[in-house]
Structure 1
Amino acid sequence: MTETPLTPEASVIVPSRGGAQRLPRLIGALAAQEDAPPFEVHVVVDGDVDGSEGVLAQLAAEHPELDLSWTVFRENRGRVAALNAGADATSGRILIRADDDLEPGPHYIRDHVAAHDDVRRGVIGLTANVLPDSAYQRVYGDAQDEAHRRHAYALPAEQQWRHWAGNVSVPRALHEELGGYDPDYRRYGWEDVDFGYRLHVAGYPVEIRPELETRHHAAAVTTYTKARRALHSGSARQIFIAKHGADALGGDRAPGGPWGAAVRAVAALSTERTIQYGSAVVERAAVVLPALVARKLIALQVEAAAETGRTRPGRARRQF
């Protein structure tokens, strides 16, 4: 007699591009979940550039206990298309987004689902970056990540939607009510913040839950990768403002004071090419300069890139 499979209570949606090296860690952690209700995992490969589909087939064989499936796009269609396709391909009551560079703890599924027991809401788990040892990590990366999480946890409840990102969950009914992620966000970033904001505007609480904080093997591990993402994010931010207005973010002002003047000056000259060159110079200098000076130089490069994206979005031409 064949057993009837249990209907999944949760669906874990994993958008992935170039994730062949990252997926084994994530899938292994999901296969090791404890006290979890029935759940499924669906990976959407956004253009298979590195043999990710073959890796997923191997992982499915290694973890037969895990309800693992996948969709492979023929070409790069972007993270929004991947997230929405993953939702359409699954059936769980709770949709959990887990980016492919996460390393969830053993109660990840249990705690995400439990957060939806009483009220219809959106739930956020922050991520703690795991960075390789480097001058960037020592003088800037770890400190910036810790400051980011400290600021997020201190936000009032009505502003926590700003941190909707790669470790979040929402009832399927709310995802469908909002129409999923907005396809107008094609470059890197802000499709997630947009979704969190729309939940907030629709009157649903959006909460950061400390128990859901998850290790994150970040892709931005150098000054250049951090600055390049800031450039694209700054560009995508303008899409958000066009849709919802600058007041949703507390305004859209250029940075002020002497530091702001320096940021604007570097931003005026920044392109993808100059960001790459300048970042390489900063990385070499960070090895020998005092930590405080090196930290300021890296911050200048990153913040100037974000300002370039904000004021000259056409300079962020490449896709993620």
Structure 2
Amino acid sequence: MFISVVIPTYNRRPILEKCLLALEGQNPSGEIENYEVVVVDDGSTDGTTDWLRASSSRFPRVRLIEQSHGGPAEGRNRGVSHARGDVIVFIDSDLVVTPTFLASHARALAAQWHRSGHRLCFTYGAVINTANFEHPTHERHKLRDLSWAYFATGNVAIDRGVLEQSGLFDTGFRLYGWEDLELGERLRQMGVALVRCPEAVGYHWHPAFRLEQIPDLIRVERERARMGLVFYRKHPSRRVRMIIQFTWMHRILWWVLTLGGLVNEQTLKPLLSWLIRQGQPSLALELLRLPLNRLGVEALYREAKVMGLH
């Protein structure tokens, strides 16, 4: 098989370098005839494109595609349109993979194709979150790294024909969130099977949590709420309501867990600050998820009222 790794990127130059170096260092298996890396720059302003052009000798497998800022859905679709492979691997530009990453996806795909007699499947690798920029692959696997998503573009591989049959990503998702899970819902309805591939490991880097990030995290929750309702309008089912937390159960759950809003980003700040000083920024972020979830669910219901949804 010929694998095209499609990576949309926006202002991620430092970690993108580690991402691309890891992909250049792959140990292809017998199933892989060749592979390429298609980087779609989404209008970065941090010098990503100039750096990539100047570094072409370091990354001989990389092809750079440029677009004005249109979001990851548009970027992934553009990447697929320029890809030459018959298998598409999606990862994010802040993911650093292991040397056997592509070989693991290829073996799992080939085995499932042989078992089923068709290509209606995709492989879903493991994503381990880390704040260790210097050595991201040193992070251990944690319980909170587990994902219950059906299809998420942080680490998946799929036959190109199956992907194109699904209609690719909906570019109506221009804000943060849900464009990959919405595609996953269409794949599920097509009968495309999820094949877990824990051997295909990627380390998702993000900076350690700081209090200064709170306004941006709140903005993201509000964007997720708006995009969640775009998802629901396309697939108005109980399943999607549960996925986006658009249920009274979730509304009551987060109200109770935040004591009716008494536990919020402001009242938690002293505790969050103390946890960060104690070297526990991940724990601080997990604690902040309580009011963030409440804010997200309340934003869903506000937006739904404006849109006439129930």
Q: Same fold (TM over 0.5)?
A: yes
- Work out the number of aligned pairs and report it: 281
Q: 2:89 touches 2:158 (CA, 8 Å); kept in 1?
A: yes
Alpha-carbon RMSD:
3.4
Task: Write out per-residue CA displacement over residues 192-230 of structure 1, whole angstroms, 9 at most, x where no aligned residue.
Answer: 111111111101102222112311103683462554433
Indicate how the Cα distance of structure 1 residues 227 and 165 shifts in structure 2: closer, same or farther if over 3 A, else same.
farther
Deviation at 1:106, TM superposition (A): 0.3
Percent of matched pairs sharing the same residue: 21
| Match status 1:240 vs 2:228 | no
Who is 1:312 aligned against? 302
Kept after mapping to 2: 8 A contact 1:264/1:307: no
TM-score w.r.t. the length of structure 1 is: 0.76
TM-superposed CA distance for 1:279, in Å, is 7.5
Q: Which runs of 5+ in 2 are unaligned?
A: 134-138, 305-310
1:299 match:
289
Give me the whole-angstrom Cα distance separating, in 2, the residues matched to 1:258 and 1:178: 35
Q: Secondary structure at the match of 2:99?
A: coil
Instruction: Could you tell me which runs of 5 or more consecutive residues in structure 1 were left unpaired when the two chains were aligned.
Output: 1-7, 134-141, 153-159, 315-320
Letter in structure 1 aligned against 2:273: R
Report if aligned partners of 1:282, 1:298 keep a CA contact under 8 Å in 2.
Answer: no
- The match for 1:166 is 154
1:234 and 1:313 in contact (8 A); partners too = yes
Instruction: State the AA in 1 paired with 2:301.
Output: T
Q: Is the 1:104–1:214 Cα contact (8 Å) retained in structure 2?
A: yes
Matched, 1:200 2:198: no
Displacement after TM superposition at 1:259 (Å): 4.9
Write the letter of the residue equivalent to 2:64.
W
| Residues in 2 aligned to 1:69 and 1:58: alpha-carbon distance in whole angstroms | 13
Give the partner amino acid of 1:212: A
1:99 aligned residue (68, 79, 92): 92
Alignment of 1:24-63 (within 5 A): 24-36=17-29, 37=32, 38-63=34-59
Deviations 1:176-205 (A, max 9, x none): 101110111111110011111111110110
Cα deviation per residue 1:107-133 (whole Å; 9 max; x = unaligned)? 111122222211421221131001259
Which of 267, 273, 278 is matched with 1:284 structurally?
A: 273
More strand by share: 2
Q: Distance in 1 between matches of 2:98 and 2:12?
A: 20
Q: What is the alpha-carbon distance in structure 2 between the residues aligned to residue 258 and residue 199 of structure 1?
A: 30
1:76 aligns with 2:63: no
Relative to 1, partners in 2 of residues 1:151 and 1:14: Cα closer, same or farther, differing over 3 Å? Answer: closer
Cα deviations by residue, 1:63-100 (Å, 9 ceiling, x for unpaired): 3xx32111111x31111110000000111000011110
